[in-house]
Amino acid sequence: MSTNVDLVKKMVDCYCRMDADGLAPLLHPESRHTAPGSDFGADLVGREKIVDYFKTKVLPSFDKVDFDAVFLWEDRDKPVVIVEWRSHLWPKTGKEYTNTGAWVIEIRGGMVYWVREYFDTEKSHQNVT
């Protein structure tokens, strides 16, 4: 397994353990996280801002989250890992549901630099809010 793939798997593990603080050592100081159309309004820049976003806005909305990497591709010429994922989510609303999506993850200096997240935001909106 490559270093970049290992890094991404650690990031996914933090999501599943709902460990926002665990993301900090994985994120580049100038990291970005974007999720077009997200209910949580994700267009963030900076490690501390991203950790705080997960700690105060995303993870408190859930009792439990589980992400499975369905497919994982790495571009070794460009430091990018693409993950097609399936999630099972238990939001505090009690509306347990599944969702699918993809992350395009750019790596810089051995750290997660930019997570571009694409998923069914309407499905999320119906179940989380």
Per-residue pLDDT of the chain (129 residues; tens, 9 = 90+): 689 999 999 999 999 999 999 999 999 999 999 988 766 667 999 999 999 999 998 999 999 999 999 999 999 899 999 999 999 999 998 888 889 999 999 999 999 999 999 986 665 656 566
Q: Give the CB-side neighbour count of residue 65, counting CA atoms within 13 A.
A: 24
To which residue do tokens 């050592």 refer?
25
- HSE of 44 in the Cβ direction (CA atoms, 13 Å)? 23
Instruction: Give the Cα separation of 64 and 13 in Å (integer).
Output: 13
- Domain of residue 59, CATH code: 3.10.450.50
Q: Which residue has the tokens 């750290």?
A: 111
Q: How many domains does the chain have?
A: 1
**Domain coverage including residue 89:** 3-128
Point out which residues pair with 67 in neighbouring strands: 87
